[in-house]
Amino acid sequence: MARFFALLVVVLLSGCADALQEFGGPTMGSHYSVKYVQAEGVPSQDHLQGEVERMLAEIDRQMSTWRADSDLSRFNRLPVGACMVMPEPVLELVRFGDQLSVSSGGAFDLTVQPLMELWGFGAQSRGHRLPADEEIAAVLPSIGQRHLRVDGERLCKDAFVRLDLDAIAAGAAVDRIAAHLVGLGVRSFLLEITGELKAVGRKPDGSPWIIAIEAPRTDRIEEQRRLELDGLGLSTSGDYRNYFEVGGKRYSHTFDPRTGRPVEHDLASVSVVDASVLRADGLSTTLMVLGPEQGMAYAEREGIAALFIRRADRGFSVSASSAFVRRFGDPQAGIVGM
């Protein structure tokens, strides 16, 4: 279920480019970027970049699974039955993950790292492989957010689980940094972290930020749909960037934590729009695990604005939830507004 990076989104910018400023850099094994309008009262670019990178460094110290000294890595090394005081941002994500896991019937889970490694998708893996049924059965007892418990400022475990926040950490980072930019007086910006993004305000000519959702292709980059965003975030999950094939069968890095196996449906990607990028990030992964039918039913029940792209005999078919259609119109159209 977990994914290392969000899918590529294409940002289309136009008009009054000389009034736009931009900076970015590496983060979370990928990249971040900020495009903003340098209006009166907005701090200097150096100050903004320093603030953004300070916050990203703090998030890395708290949530990275790549550095041994992070709070998350230290928690993952604890024995069964142990507890550890954790930063509130980490506890917030665990609580959100618990809610999403319950509402989705276990389709979302933050403890699937052992499955990723078993199938060869993890950071410590030596290559893709098809594990035996017995190997999957041996790992499943250590999978499940039911083994985690928040006790005040402490996080506790009752099994040897390994918590991995990659599925929602970038979305949460976008929310935190976007709020900070607004507090610093930045009124119009497009913030992207590893593909999760949020747009606020408008460009200098009054036109909106236009975001293009990428078609789920492996042979080339191609625009699928465009959205106009203001005050909204976008997250896309899919299976076409990270997978392997054996005997003509595709094995995706998107795992169903209930079975311990990659999903097998024909859903290629899901995009979710929400004011909370944390929520959009978690929901796009959840819908990808649930698949086209169950995912659409869940989106309708929860009022989620979601765009589903399925593989078809001759390309792709597109469908959207009622909340998406109400906000953006017909998904078969070109640019759709708020």
Mean pLDDT of 154-180: 96
Lowest mean pLDDT among 59-73, 108-122, 170-184, 189-203: 108-122
pLDDT of residue 316: 81
Structure tokens at 29: 């094994």
Mean pLDDT of 26-51: 95
User: Rounded to two decimals, what is the model's pTM?
Assistant: 0.89
Q: Which CATH number is associated with domain 67-166?
A: 1.10.3980.10
Residue 295 has pLDDT above 50, yes or no: yes
Mean pLDDT of 224-228: 86
Residue 124 has pLDDT above 70, yes or no: no
Structure tokens at 202: 């408008």
Euclidean distance between CA atoms 325 and 331, whole angstroms: 7
pLDDT of residue 74: 97
Mean pLDDT of 282-305: 97
Mean pLDDT of 62-90: 96
Confidence bin at 222 (pLDDT 50/70/90): low
Lowest mean pLDDT among 40-54, 82-96, 208-222: 208-222
Residue 288 has pLDDT above 70, yes or no: yes
Residue 107 has pLDDT above 50, yes or no: yes
Residue 247 has pLDDT above 90, yes or no: no
Q: What is the mean pLDDT of the chain?
A: 88
Lowest mean pLDDT among 41-50, 126-135, 197-206, 278-287: 126-135
pLDDT of residue 18: 42
Q: Which of the pair, 47 or 332, is modelled with greater confidence?
A: 47
pLDDT of residue 197: 97
Tell me how long the chain is: 338
Domain spans of the chain, in order of start: 67-166
Confidence bin at 331 (pLDDT 50/70/90): confident
Q: Which of the pair, 134 or 8, is modelled with greater confidence?
A: 134
Residue 248 has pLDDT above 50, yes or no: yes
Confidence bin at 3 (pLDDT 50/70/90): very low
Confidence bin at 11 (pLDDT 50/70/90): very low
